[in-house]
Amino acid sequence: MDDLDRRLVGLLERDARTPMARLADELCVGESTACRHLAPLMRSHILHLRLHIEPAALGFPVEARSQLTVKHRALDKTVRRLAQEPAIRHLVLTTGRADILGYSSHRSTQDLYAFTDRVFSELEGLRGVATAVLLRTYKRVGIVTGGAL
């Protein structure tokens, strides 16, 4: 990324809905130049423009964090299997006590239970799982939420 790319990302970070003409004006470049810089950032997945909606607003008020320990030989297969689950919205490999950390959204605690029972029982090489219900969210995707006490 060059300086123009970083400035472009900064503008989009403030408001991802900024029209291309305004981005070009603020960057002091032509609209085609701004487009030429934006396109490769998006193609290479350096930059993702997306809409975020609170899960509860979509009918998924129960959120959970699951920490999984998995035999090393099964790690790739396990992550690929979990990534196919619609309920899982964030999934990473990590260091520390757990190998995999995943966040999921559910319609109810019963739905969460059915999810963990179904999905985790299918995983080969699973050595341990710790799942916790998230009680309140204070910051999500870089934005402070309404979770204050």
Ranges under pLDDT 70 in the chain: 147-149
What is the model's pTM? Answer: 0.76
CATH number of 3-43: 1.10.10.10
- DSSP characters for 43-111? HTTS--------GGGGT--EEEEEEEEE-GGGHHHHHHHHHT-TTEEEEEE-SSS-SEEEEEEESSHHH
Per-residue confidence (pLDDT) for residue 147, from 0 to 100: 61
Per-residue confidence (pLDDT) for residue 149, from 0 to 100: 56
User: What is the distance between the terminal CA atoms of the chain, rounded to a whole angstrom?
Assistant: 40
Rounded (5°) CA angle 111-88-56: 60
Listed by start position, the domains of the chain span 3-43, 55-140
CATH number of 55-140: 3.30.70.920
